[in-house]
């Protein structure tokens, strides 16, 4: 099962302080709008999203249809197909994708330790 590009989305208290800290670790801004409270930083293939005031907890994020540079990949497994496979395996969802649609959609689930997992397809 290929879930797509992986990143961690961090719920931060101070976007500027977090950006400066991760830049010290070698991360550079890759995408985002600081004025809107979010930035995506990259160090090699490691991707970290910094989000201030958008959600309460950190999230493991997968993006079907993207590589680590947020570039389209083909073929890829659509999030709805992933949802069907996971449902067949007995996985419970916090949020499901509408299987009657195509294109962008997302699913959300929680692992046994309470970590949120977002599978977020943008295309």
CATH label of the domain that carries residue 22: 3.10.180.10
Mean confidence (pLDDT) of the chain: 96
CA-closest candidate to residue 6, choices 37, 41, 45: 45
The pLDDT, as a whole number, for residue 112 is: 93
Mean pLDDT of 57-86: 96
- Residue 28 domain boundaries: 5-121
Q: Is 114 helix (H, G, I), strand (E, B) or coil?
A: coil
Pairing mode of beta strands 46-52, 59-63? unpaired
Q: H-type helices in 1-123, by residue range?
A: 15-24, 79-88
Give the Cα-Cα-Cα angle 39, 45, 47 (nearest 5 degrees): 25
CA 31 from centroid of its chain's CA atoms: 13
- At 76, is the pLDDT very low, low, confident or very high (cuts 50, 70, 90)? very high
- At 52, is the pLDDT very low, low, confident or very high (cuts 50, 70, 90)? very high
Percent above pLDDT 90 for the chain: 99
What is the reported pTM?
0.90
Domain count, the chain: 1
């Amino acid at each position: 099962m290929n879930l797509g590009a992986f990143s961690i989305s961090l719920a931060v208290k101070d976007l500027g302080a977090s950006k400066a800290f991760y830049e010290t670790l070698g991360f550079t801004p890759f995408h985002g709008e600081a004025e809107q409270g979010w930035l995506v930083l990259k160090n090699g293939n490691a991707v970290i999203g910094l989000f201030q005031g958008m959600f309460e907890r950190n999230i493991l994020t997968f993006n079907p249809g993207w590589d680590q540079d947020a570039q389209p990949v083909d073929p890829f497994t659509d999030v709805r197909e992933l949802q069907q496979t996971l449902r067949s395996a007995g996985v419970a969802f916090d949020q499901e994708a509408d299987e009657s649609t195509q294109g962008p959609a997302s699913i959300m689930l929680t692992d046994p330790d309470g970590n949120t997992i977002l599978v977020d397809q943008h295309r």
